[in-house]
Chains A and B, each alone.
Chain A
């Protein structure tokens, strides 16, 4: 007999209570997941009652149920967006054919790889962020961190569901491996490099949720176009949750900036040492964090020319961002796209077949989206009457993947010598001293409605609750 009451414990719309095979796979996996969560989930917080949003169904009312729950009791559900009837593949070589409800044999390996790579990022970010709870600047922020964490956990479930349901034994093995890799572990690291970096402080966390979770959004958007219908429907639903993560990032950085410009106006100074003495994060440091997270994140889109990307597209596994809204032939065979490379010490554009440049296409869409948010941060600075503006660095700056890997380019996009790079890098990327200063500000604030000195309160609470609501009960 099963030990789990499926409809209660695992809210789902995949008919789990009647799928014995899936139940058996999950019965085995679920205890391992919970033990992973105990070991690698938020540190020292398992007994807190946290005001969390739980999805219990996919309709607008059902997916945002709020209440205080202990994180290990969070009901990680399995949800697919409602099926679109007679959905057709809308790009690539199989365009016009019925979307796949099962995995075609010839695409099995590639699809599994895509799902595992996506799935691996979810527990990785929980691991990266597991100590942040100890230094949360407020209850409100602590709650947001935990919300992000449990939803990353749910996204792992979503990917594991696909592995269990559609990939048989090797799917089950991959699902186990997702719980065995560890972020930053030398012997068994997470798959993507950015997910092995530390998230040491809350400014990093906000930058990570703004920039790196936005990479997640674009990857999910591309997968939401997939010919493999269960993957498309799963990722569509994940996008609704991903929006919250980017909100945490965008509003978090915005509040840090708000506090800084308030202090600048109060003290009538832009002197970094005076501002640091006042305990706020100076704008140049914020700019350097931005440069770092932006450049590390755009590497995640992969090499600028990739035959894998072409294969994934042509075979219908992964589309472009908003593929369905684009007005071209959705085959791209004759199309070209401009990528960057260095010739004679200069960055030059080079035209290549678009199919091979699809990583670059997605990266450029991502950059446009990222810039818009940075402009909104600038509005906060502008409103305070301060002439400084934050900028997104050039896309060739500080890259480690593709033809730009290792090329020394300044944030404005000019190729520089090693000597110039070494002389200026401390103006462009966070220094050890910057990180130590930001770390020195991190201290836990637990009283409802109180905020650490380096960050402004939010304009409104969660789910119409007041800002000083007891979002976390520490017990």
Chain B
């Protein structure tokens, strides 16, 4: 994780504008903000770029970013001594420090700035896709429990299963990992996530911070009636630029053996939740491990259907991966009845075939989606790489507009009624 060339878009607070009101520190879900009698500062290796602190800040001082080589991030002690922000490093200075200038594609650390208007301008589009996502759950969502176990008092889970869910030998090795909580309360809903704290310390000798993973199993357990849940974890062996790096948490998780103990915090998430009323439709759009919450929702609906006591609506799944071999859960998905779920795969690196992304699959199914967009029983869920989010929102917009629908009012009601959820990273 500490290759010298790696850049960090470091989150900083402008001490000249900040009024030390403590709102950010009180809001931060991961304890990444601290202060002394002088300044409020962001702890670089704790901040996970969730942006929860940005809207509540009354001053705007919270929304400052500096590109620095990751190994040379400004320390807490440095920041506490500041009267003003340091000037941004130029590309020349950055390369002199052994870092490449700002990459075209975003590194994971940079995705945090997506929410700022600056990067919307960079992408050259007026659509700010994140604005379309709802912050409220659908009306029939079950009430979630959140933050039962915080970073200061994580709970322990036991690994009871760990196997690969795409074809061995493919590049994106993806594991299905089952964790059991024994008698510790850890009630979850489909769409929620948990945090995993890898053991040991980072290069600075500090404990690792938690990494967040979506839950891939339904509310009553991976195995119904047991206090367990599953995760879908891709082994990270390179960064977004293709440079080799070893993801600390993903490699730790993929290498776990049954019987091992894991430190867990959470659950998190109170809006990306599924509708529970009869005849509600669910449209799921995902790539790679973004399939985890979709698997959870699909499985819950499947169990309800098997009970014979629930009349579900339409389920549609748009699932993208580079190849069929890489796609997690390809086999089990094929076995689901066609009258239960309508699945469109999109493969972008299939030999001898044109590239096809999830947004292409959406456009191909425009006729069905128009019906669903018109229907206020429809709920849309998007999960996967950040880069797909805008394409998906644009595709939905175009599909609506080409059918003569009033997209702004549809978008507004999707958002207001908690029927369009975006979770990308």
Query: Lowest 5 A-B CB distances belong to which pairs?
Result: A243-B21, A64-B55, A244-B58, A61-B135, A60-B52
- From B12-20, B290-298, B306-314, B399-407, the one touching the partner chain is B12-20
- From A133-141, A245-253, A281-289, the one touching the partner chain is A245-253
Residues of A within 8 A of B53 (CB): 60
Q: How many residues of A contact B (CB 8 A)?
A: 29
> Closest residue to A382 on the B side, CB-wise?
B83
- B22, B56, B148: the one contacting A60 at CB < 8 Å is B56
Q: B408 near A: Cβ within 8 Å? A: no
- A56, A59, A240, A376: the one contacting B270 at CB < 8 Å is A59
Encode B140-158 as 1/0 by CB contact (under 8 A) with A: 0000011010000000000
A156 CA to B238 CA in the complex, in Å? 54
Q: B27 near A: Cβ within 8 Å? A: yes
Q: B271 near A: Cβ within 8 Å? A: yes
> B60 and A372: CB pair below 8 A?
no
> Closest residue to A247 on the B side, CB-wise?
B58
> A56-B136, A61-B135, A239-B23 known; 12 other A-B pairs, CB under 8 Å?
A57-B136, A59-B271, A60-B51, A85-B145, A240-B23, A243-B19, A243-B23, A247-B19, A251-B17, A460-B17, A464-B63, A464-B116
> B19 and A250: CB pair below 8 A?
yes
Q: B75 near A: Cβ within 8 Å? A: no
A–B Cβ pairs within 8 angstroms, 23 of them: A60-B27, A61-B52, A61-B55, A62-B136, A63-B56, A82-B146, A85-B145, A240-B23, A243-B21, A243-B23, A243-B56, A244-B58, A246-B58, A247-B19, A251-B17, A372-B20, A373-B19, A373-B20, A376-B19, A379-B16, A460-B17, A462-B60, A463-B60
Residues of A within 8 A of B55 (CB): 60-61, 63-64
Quote the shortest CB–CB distance from A155 to chain B (angstroms): 15
Q: B117 near A: Cβ within 8 Å? A: yes
Residues of B within 8 A of A277 (CB): none
Quote the shortest CB–CB distance from A274 to chain B (angstroms): 29
A254 CA to B5 CA in the complex, in Å? 41
Q: B59 near A: Cβ within 8 Å? A: yes
Quote the shortest CB–CB distance from A475 to chain B (angstroms): 23
A75 CA to B387 CA in the complex, in Å? 35
A246 CA to B55 CA in the complex, in Å? 17
Residues of A within 8 A of B63 (CB): 464
Encode A48-65 as 1/0 by CB contact (under 8 A) with B: 000000001101111110
> Closest residue to A368 on the B side, CB-wise?
B37
> A85 and B52: CB pair below 8 A?
no
Quote the shortest CB–CB distance from B86 to chain A (angstroms): 16
Quote the shortest CB–CB distance from B14 to chain A (angstroms): 9
A239 CA to B37 CA in the complex, in Å? 20
- A57, A64, A217, A460: the one contacting B56 at CB < 8 Å is A64
Quote the shortest CB–CB distance from A18 to chain B (angstroms): 12
Residues of B within 8 A of A61 (CB): 52, 55, 135
Which of B17, B146, B270 has most chain A Cβ within 10 Å?
Answer: B17
- A60, A63, A240, A460: the one contacting B60 at CB < 8 Å is A460
Q: A459 near B: Cβ within 8 Å? A: yes
Residues of A within 8 A of B146 (CB): 82
Encode B35-63 as 1/0 by CB contact (under 8 A) with A: 00110000000000001111110111001
Residues of A within 8 A of B19 (CB): 243, 246-247, 250-251, 373, 376
- B26, B60, B83, B148: the one contacting A85 at CB < 8 Å is B148
> Closest residue to B146 on the A side, CB-wise?
A82
> Closest residue to A66 on the B side, CB-wise?
B55
> A464 and B23: CB pair below 8 A?
no
Quote the shortest CB–CB distance from A237 to chain B (angstroms): 11
A470 CA to B386 CA in the complex, in Å? 33
Q: Which of A30-64 contact B (CB under 8 A)?
A: 56-57, 59-64
Encode A436-475 as 1/0 by CB contact (under 8 A) with B: 0000000000000000000000011111100000000000
> Closest residue to B28 on the A side, CB-wise?
A60
- B21, B27, B37: the one contacting A246 at CB < 8 Å is B21
Which of B21, B60, B135, B270 has most chain A Cβ within 10 Å?
Answer: B21
Quote the shortest CB–CB distance from A332 to chain B (angstroms): 24
A243 CA to B57 CA in the complex, in Å? 8
A246 CA to B20 CA in the complex, in Å? 10
A240 CA to B23 CA in the complex, in Å? 6
> A243 and B271: CB pair below 8 A?
no
A236 CA to B19 CA in the complex, in Å? 18
Which of B55, B83, B271 has most chain A Cβ within 10 Å?
Answer: B55
Quote the shortest CB–CB distance from A188 to chain B (angstroms): 33
Known contacts A85-B148, A372-B37, A379-B83, A59 near B135 by CB under 8 Å: yes
Residues of B within 8 A of A62 (CB): 135-136
Known contacts A243-B19, A246-B19, A57 near B59 by CB under 8 Å: no
Known contacts A59-B271, A82-B146, A464-B117, A251 near B23 by CB under 8 Å: no
- A57, A247, A373: the one contacting B135 at CB < 8 Å is A57
Quote the shortest CB–CB distance from A380 to chain B (angstroms): 9
Residues of B within 8 A of A373 (CB): 19-20
Q: Which of A275-295 contact B (CB under 8 A)?
A: none
A461 CA to B63 CA in the complex, in Å? 13
> Closest residue to A242 on the B side, CB-wise?
B21
Encode B260-278 as 1/0 by CB contact (under 8 A) with A: 0000000000110000000
Residues of A within 8 A of B17 (CB): 251, 459-460
A64 CA to B58 CA in the complex, in Å? 10
Residues of B within 8 A of A372 (CB): 20, 37-38
A82 CA to B146 CA in the complex, in Å? 10
> Closest residue to B139 on the A side, CB-wise?
A7
A463 CA to B57 CA in the complex, in Å? 9
Which of A240, A243, A464 has most chain B Cβ within 10 Å?
Answer: A243
A460 CA to B62 CA in the complex, in Å? 12
A418 CA to B54 CA in the complex, in Å? 52
Q: Which of A53-90 contact B (CB under 8 A)?
A: 56-57, 59-64, 82, 85
Q: Which of A202-257 contact B (CB under 8 A)?
A: 217, 239-240, 243-244, 246-247, 250-251
> B60 and A464: CB pair below 8 A?
yes
Residues of B within 8 A of A463 (CB): 60
